[in-house]
Amino acid sequence: MSDKQYTVHVCQGTGCVSGGSEKVFYSLKNEIEDSAFDHIHVKRTGCHGFCQQGPLIVIEPVGIDSQREGIFYTKVKTDDVSDIIQSILPKGKPLVRLLYKDPATDKPIPHYRDIPFYNKQERTILKHCGNIDPEDINEYLAVGGYKALRKAIFEMTPEGVISAVKSSGLRGLGGAGFPTGRKWEACRKAQGDGKYVICNADEGDPGAFQDRSVMEGNPHSVIEGMIIAAYAIGAGKGFIYVRAEYPLAVSRLKIAIEQARQEGLLGDNILDSDFSFDIEIFQGAGAFVCGESTALVRSIEGKRGMPKAMPRPRTTEEGLWNKPTLLNNVKTFANIPLIISNGSEWFSKRGTEKSKGTAVFSLTGKVVNCGLIEVPMGATLRKIIFDIGGGIPGGKALKAVQTGGPSGGCLPANMIDMPVDFDSLTKAGSIMGSGGMVVMDEDTCMVDVARYFLDFTQRESCGQCIPCRLGTVQMFKILDDITKGNGRPGDIDLLLELSEAIKRSSICGLGKTAPNPVLTTLRYFRDEYEAHIHEKRCPAGVCIGGKEIS
C-alpha cells in the first residue's frame, strides 16, 4: 500500500464511470503530481456499491487522524478536484457540499462508517471492493490475497479442501443454491482427465449487477477461488464466461490473469508446486439462456447456446468437450479464499440453518438508496429495503419486491418480515436467483411487470423446445392484451394452465421458471389482473390509457 498520509479512493465501477469518475481520477492524479502534495496518493478502486450517489470518493488517512477517517464524497465532478485537494491540506476541512446527506433529516454524514447504507451491511465478499486497486495484484496480496491458495496447495489435500467447502455449508450463489462442496466432490470423483473449471459470469438477469461489481472491484478473489477449485477437483484449465455487455469487467480480469501469471500463481507449476492450471476468458455473445450450464458449455464449444435435453449426464460428469466440468458462479468462487483462510466455522457462523454465509444483492427500483449490498443470509426484506435501502422515495408505499429476475417472482409488501434465504424465497414462490432485488411501489403495475418478464423470456427462449418457444409467446400475448384493456374472462385460467404446462415440460431452467413472475403476481395480486380484465382499469395507472407503454 502507500506510505503517503492520505489515500483518495476514486470509484471506477461502471456506474461511477458513467458519471465521469474516470475524468475525476485523472484530474486528481494530474493535479497532485503537478504540485508538491506528495502526502496524497490517488487510487483507482472497484465498485463501492452506492452507485446511485456516484461518482464516489473516499479519503482514508494512513496515519491516525480519526477526524478525517473515511470521508465519503458523493456525486463528485472534475470541478471539485481542487477543493478536494485543499480539504486534505493541513488546515483543510471536509467539503460539506459533497457529503452524503441523510434523506430523512437532510443532515450531512461525513464518514463512510456512519452512513446507514453501509453500517447495516456485513461485507465479506465485497469487503475489499472499493478499497483496493483492482488493476494491481500487490494490493490484493497486501490484504492477504493468495494466502488461501498457498494454504490449500501446501497444507491441504484436494480432499481436505473439498471437505472444508462442504462443512462450510456454502451453496451455489448463481441462483439454484446447490451445495458447492457436493458439486466439487462429484467432479473430483468423475472419471476422466482434462477436467475444466468454469466461472459462470454470464450475469443475464436484468436488474442484477453484483457479479459484474465483484469482477470489476476484486477480480483476484474470483481467480484465486477458481485456482483452489482446480486444485481440489484436479483440473488443468479454466474459463471465465463473461457477458459481452461487461467490457470493464473483461478488461480488469485480463489484467488480473496476466499479473497472476507473472507472480507464478497461474500457469505451469503454480508456486513451484507440481500443480498447473491456467484461465482463459470467454466472452458471451448476448444470450440469456447461456447462463444455463449445458448451454454455456456449448457456447464455448462454438455452437448455438442451446441447453441439452434431459435425461443427460451432469456437467460435473460430462461438460466442456465431454470432460468433467465444474461450473460455479462468480460470488461462489469469491467466497472460497475466505473459507480456506478463515475456516469453515467462520463462514457458517453467518446465515441460517440451511443457507450459510452472506448474500449480495443489487438493490434497485423504487428505493431511496440504490446500489450493491451484502447481508447475512436470513436478513429480512425489511432490513434490506428500509434499514439499508432507506425506504421508498417520495412518501410512496411499498407494493412488492422482485427477486430472481425472470425466473423469480414478486413478493407482496406484507411479507416484508420474511427472512431472505434460498428456502424461504422458494417457498414463497420466488427464488434467490443471482441477486437482483427490484423494489416496486404503488405506482408499479404488477400485470405490467409480469408482461415485462414474459416479453423478456419469449425473446430469450432458445427455440429448441416447444413449450418454452410457443408457450411463453402465448403467455406474453395474453398479458399484452390484458394491459391494453383487451383482456377476456377466462384469461387468468388460461395463464395458469399454460404456466403449469410450460413448467412441467420445458427442457431447461429458462422455460421451467419462466411462468414464475406470472404465478407469483397472480398469487399475491390477483385483484389487479381482475381490475384490468373486468373493469378495464389499471389500479396503478400504468396500463390502459395510463402512462404510455411500449
The amino acid that residue 188 corresponds to is R
Contacting residue, 391, 405, 412, 435, with other proteins by CB under 8 A: 405
If the CB atoms of residues 169 and 406 are measured against other proteins, the closer one turns out to be: 406
CB 125, CB 335: distance < 8 Å: yes
Nearest to 498 by CA among 476, 525, 520: 476
CB 440, CB 449: distance < 8 Å: yes
String marking each residue 461-500 x if it binds other proteins according to CB under 8 A: -x--------------------------------------
Q: Which stretch binds other proteins (CB under 8 A): 206-214, 268-276, 329-337, 483-491?
A: 206-214
Contacting residue, 438, 475, 479, 495, with other proteins by CB under 8 A: 438
String marking each residue 51-70 x if it binds other proteins according to CB under 8 A: xx-x----------------
Distance CA 208, CA 200 (A): 14
Distance CA 319, CA 327 (A): 9
Under the binding rule (CB under 8 A), the answer on residue 528 touching other proteins is no
Query: Which three three-digit cell numbers place residue 485?
Result: 384493456
Do the bridges between strand 436-441 and strand 409-412 make them parallel or antiparallel, or are there none, so unpaired?
unpaired
Count of CA atoms in the C-beta half-sphere (13 A) of 471: 27
Distance CA 324, CA 167 (A): 23
Distance CA 365, CA 204 (A): 17
Contacting residue, 172, 207, 225, 324, with other proteins by CB under 8 A: 207
Under the binding rule (CB under 8 A), the answer on residue 3 touching other proteins is no
Under the binding rule (CB under 8 A), the answer on residue 246 touching other proteins is yes
Q: Which stretch binds other proteins (CB under 8 A): 13-21, 63-71, 100-108, 331-339?
A: 13-21
Distances (CA, A) of 473 to 126, 452, 511, 518: 39, 12, 12, 13
Q: Shortest Cβ distance from residue 61 to other proteins (Å)?
A: 28
Distance of CA 46 to the CA centre of its chain: 14
Under the binding rule (CB under 8 A), the answer on residue 156 touching other proteins is no
Distance CA 236, CA 234 (A): 7
Under the binding rule (CB under 8 A), the answer on residue 203 touching other proteins is yes
CB 289, CB 295: distance < 8 Å: yes
String marking each residue 362-401 x if it binds other proteins according to CB under 8 A: xxxxx---xxx-----------------------------
Instruction: Give phi and psi for 381, each to the nearest 5.
Output: -60, -35
With CB under 8 A, what is the number of residues at the site for other proteins?
64
Distance CA 197, CA 275 (A): 14
Contacting residue, 181, 376, 436, 487, with other proteins by CB under 8 A: 436
Contacting residue, 301, 497, 527, 535, with other proteins by CB under 8 A: 301
If the CB atoms of residues 110 and 404 are measured against other proteins, the closer one turns out to be: 404
CB 149, CB 227: distance < 8 Å: yes
Q: Shortest Cβ distance from residue 381 to other proteins (Å)?
A: 17
Q: List residues binding other proteins (CB under 8 A).
A: 14-15, 17-19, 22, 50-52, 54, 203-209, 212, 244-248, 251, 282-288, 299-306, 321, 362-366, 370-372, 402, 405, 436, 438, 440, 444, 449, 452-453, 456, 460, 462, 547-550
